[in-house]
Amino acid sequence: MHSHIVVDSTDRERMGHVKSELQKLLSNADVQNAVFLILANKQDLADAMSSAEITEMLQLHEIKQSEWCIQASCALTGEGLREGLDWIASRLR
């Protein structure tokens, strides 16, 4: 199984909610050993959190049962989208 999640890199207030929803998702037996791509969107904005900051806030390094990748991206320009999709495609082969 694979999944992708898009987070707003400028929305610090909602990161707690995103973390909670991600934890709920990961507790589901159907997604054990899933592959997750997290797109850190809006990286073109000055107040955007870095991928490292988002990784820390979402405690991604604690995810042991699934493979994951966080990719900095900008939906307006497409920056980072190809890299993220290439990563997830390589895991599905």
Report pLDDT digits (tens) over 44-61: 999 999 999 999 999 999
- Measured CA to CA, the distance from residue 23 to residue 79 in angstroms comes to 27
Q: Are 25 and 31 in contact (CB under 8 A)?
A: yes
* Paired residues of 71 in beta bridges: 39
Closest CA to 56 of 3, 90, 92, 9: 9
| Span 38-42, average pLDDT | 97
CATH code of the domain covering residue 41: 3.40.50.300
Which domain does 28 fall in, by range?
A: 2-92
**pLDDT, greater one: 55 or 92:** 55
Number of domains composing the chain: 1
Q: What is the pTM of this model?
A: 0.90
pLDDT at 3: 74
